[in-house]
Amino acid sequence: MEKNTYFEAMRDTAIAYNEAQAIREKERDAMIAADDWDSVKAFDKREKEEFPYPFTAGQNKALVLYDRSLRNGADAFEADDLPWDYELADFVETLRKAGITAIVVTDHSTGLMDGIYGLTALGCRMNGLKTVTRADDHRFGSKEPERKNGIEFIISEEA
């Protein structure tokens, strides 16, 4: 899988957010050290109201799976952990915005069937069985790339 400019921009935004949050957290730590719990409560309230995380859970799941696919050297966009049903619409919309045309679902969770039905309800189409090869992921003691069986889904442009 190759780098994607949309996801790279999302990554940059997430990194900038996390760096700024780490600086703000130092203020909070100082309040805790001073035993100033009223200020900690006010800080936490301000943090939620003024500095919300820039992505929904579904958007973040798409970013995490993109990063994981790159890190593993996967030959396709691999979804080894589908989002929850209430995150799925944002997940699929993020894939569309990023120009991702297909994913391979290798998830084995108990919610897999819900995920499959959710993807199809959002206009994604099962294309068939596909094996993902993870060039940079090896089983313990093996020099061979890891291979994961899955189901390929075509991500349509519209639901």
Q: Mean per-residue pLDDT for 34-61?
A: 95
What is the residue type of 67? D
Residue owning tokens 């990554």: 11
Query: What per-residue string of b and e applies to 136-156 under the rule 16 or more CB within 10 Å gives b?
Result: ebeeeeeeebbebebbbbebe
Predicted local confidence at residue 157, as pLDDT? 78
139 and 62, same domain (yes or no) = yes
Q: What is the CATH number of the domain that holds 142?
A: 3.30.110
Nearest to 79 by CA among 99, 108, 45, 122: 108
Q: In this structure, is residue 159 part of a structural domain? A: no
Q: In this structure, is residue 97 part of a structural domain? A: yes
32 and 89, same domain (yes or no) = no
| Spatial distance between the Cα atoms of 64 and 82, rounded to a whole number of angstroms | 11
% the chain with pLDDT above 70: 96
Nearest to 138 by CA among 150, 129, 148, 130: 148
0.85 cut: is pTM over it?
Answer: yes
Q: In this structure, is residue 63 part of a structural domain? A: yes
Structurally, how many domains does the chain consist of?
2
Predicted local confidence at residue 146, as pLDDT? 87
105 and 75, same domain (yes or no) = yes
78 and 145, same domain (yes or no) = yes
Q: Write the pLDDT tens digit of every residue in 26-44.
A: 999 999 999 999 999 999 9
- Residue 22 sits in which domain range? 5-50
